[in-house]
Amino acid sequence: MMCRCLKVSPSGYYDWESRLPSDRQSDNARLMSRIRQIHEDSQGAIGVPRMHDDLTHEGETASRNRIARLMASEGLQGWPRRKKRGQRAKPALSPPGIENRLNRDFSALEPETKWVTDITEIPTGEGKRFLCVVIDLFNKLVVGWSMHHRQDRQMVIRAVEMAVWQRQDKGSVVLHSDRGSQFRSGDYQRFLKQNALISSMSAVGHCGDNAACEGFFGVLKRERVNRKKYRTRDIARSDVFDYIERFHNPRKRRRVAKLDLEYSAVLETSVEAG
């Protein structure tokens, strides 16, 4: 009866039912399994563009459109960016002798040569919790971070201290920030000089001068903070720790390790050919 209604021959139906999956279907099933795993590891935050980047770094050759179709078929999508009104920053003078050394050049050829730092706020049921991070522009790793219920200079110094403690080379590093009072304080500036850190500051009213750090905060809030309501400051701190140390940094380290292996292979081939 079903075959008559659909105008399909019984032999054709039984042939379709017993037919083995095609190579394309098998490959889609394998790819979909990995997509589900990455999406679950990110707690549902990763969308098509970043999913495509992750799979490409793993050696997959699937196009972005194919990944989009597979994710749509399973109802998987990323967390959209929240739109909000821009706020005009109040002009602030930087300490004497400090200039914008980065000049919006957020590329670094070696680790521990250029760092950026900034502060953002995270709402909780107990009030605001402030987060300060230090990011290495070479590999985008969060090399230092600190949280406190007040955005004072001590919180900033603790974040930079963590980065200094993990530093392998004791050479000088440019550390860029905005002109917040914490970064202009005497204690902060003295700590930088004592640890071979060269202070760099954004121009007045130019938030784009520290876009690398602002970009990290945007991704953190879109993928984790904006999706949750933290009852306490301790819960917020635990979740930020999980994001930085168990999600963001491990992904960046894997990506850098893969690039290093590819570069080593190219270098060996060049040496052999020469």
Is 99 a member of any domain?
no
Among 9-13, 77-81, 150-154, which is the least confidently predicted range? 77-81
Angle CA 264–266–271, to nearest 5: 95
In sequence order, the 6+-apart residues with CB closer than 8 A to the CB of 133 are: 117, 118, 142, 144, 145, 159, 213, 216, 217, 244
The enclosing H or E element of 220 equals helix 211-223
The answer to whether residues 60 and 129 belong to one domain is: no
The answer to whether residues 53 and 139 belong to one domain is: no
Is 29 a member of any domain?
yes
Is 126 a member of any domain?
yes
At residue 89, does pLDDT exceed 50? no
In sequence order, the 6+-apart residues with CB closer than 8 A to the CB of 27 are: none
Structural domain boundaries enclosing 57? 20-74
Is 239 a member of any domain?
yes
CA distance linking residue 261 with residue 246, whole number of Å: 23
The answer to whether residues 124 and 55 belong to one domain is: no
pTM score of the predicted model? 0.67
In sequence order, the 6+-apart residues with CB closer than 8 A to the CB of 45 are: 78, 79, 222, 223, 224, 227
The answer to whether residues 231 and 118 belong to one domain is: yes
Is 84 a member of any domain?
no
Q: How many domains does the chain divide into?
A: 2
| Structure confidence at residue 78 (pLDDT) | 78
The answer to whether residues 65 and 121 belong to one domain is: no
Sheet containing 197-201: order of strands: 142-148, 127-136, 114-124, 173-177, 197-201
Is 105 a member of any domain?
no
Is 79 a member of any domain?
no
Looking at per-residue confidence, does 274 or 198 come out higher? 198
Long-range contacts of 33-40 (CB under 8 A, 24+ apart): 34/58, 34/60, 35/67, 35/70, 35/71, 35/74, 35/76, 36/74, 36/76, 39/71, 39/76
Q: Is 114 exposed, middle or buried (0-12, 13-18, 19+ CB in 10 A)?
A: buried
The 10s digit of each residue's pLDDT in 199-239 is: 999 887 677 888 999 999 999 999 899 988 999 999 999 99
At residue 70, does pLDDT exceed 70? yes
The answer to whether residues 164 and 68 belong to one domain is: no
Q: In the structure encoding, which two tokens stand for residue 36, read together?
A: 């589900």
| Structure confidence at residue 208 (pLDDT) | 81
The answer to whether residues 152 and 53 belong to one domain is: no
The answer to whether residues 59 and 190 belong to one domain is: no
How many H helices and E strands in the chain?
Answer: 11, 5
The answer to whether residues 46 and 151 belong to one domain is: no
How far is the first Cα of the chain from the last one, in angstroms, to the nearest whole number?
A: 73
Q: How confident is the model at residue 58 (pLDDT cuts 50, 70, 90)?
A: confident
Report the CATH number at residue 189.
Answer: 3.30.420.10
